Amino acid sequence: MFGNRQKTPTSAYAELARESDVRAASPHRLVVLLFEGAASAISVARVHAGEGRFADRSANISKAIDIITNGLKASLDVQAGGELAERLAALYDYMVSRLLWANMKNDVPTLDEVQSLLGEIHDAWRQIDPDKQQGN
């Protein structure tokens, strides 16, 4: 369904801008972009769930799961991060299991739960931005 859409000049420009942002991003910024991508996918899934568009809901939940598993969790360094990294890995696993549940049961409150958890970690991550700390 998504592949059939033609790109407008505006959407093509927006896609190029996102790609440019990713290529130029610091490692910290890349993690921020991962949080934003997962949150966006969950928000879109929520809309699709409300509209009864289950295939689109599932596609966006799958996208969020992929970002959490292959982006956020994969970027953890358990050796360097120790217990904190282990706890984050466990929390990411919990989020994925909740997203799978939400997908099976069309459970919007569970999507909200995961989005809230992501939001809390995202806020904490933004507060430790090394670029902002260097300016202080």
Q: Is residue 91 included in any domain, yes or no? A: yes
Residue 54 lies in a domain: yes
pLDDT in tens, 83-117: 999 999 999 999 999 999 999 999 999 999 999 99
Q: How many domains does the chain have?
A: 1
Comparing C-alpha atoms, which of 124, 126, 108, 125 is closest to residue 46? 108
pLDDT digits (tens, 9 = 90+) for 22-38: 666 788 889 999 999 99
- What's the CA gap between 28 and 17, in Å, rounded? 18
Output b/e per residue, 48-85; b: 16+ Cβ within 10 A. bbeeeeeebbbbbbebbbebbeebbbeebeeeeeeeeb
**Residues 8-65: pLDDT tens digits?**
666 555 555 556 566 667 888 899 999 999 999 999 999 999 999 999 999 999 999 9
Q: What is the CATH number of the domain that holds 86?
A: 1.20.120.340
Residues 67-77, mean pLDDT to the nearest whole number? 96
Domain, as residue range, for 87 = 26-128
Token look-up 């890349």 returns 30
Tell if the pTM clears 0.85, that is, is over it.
no
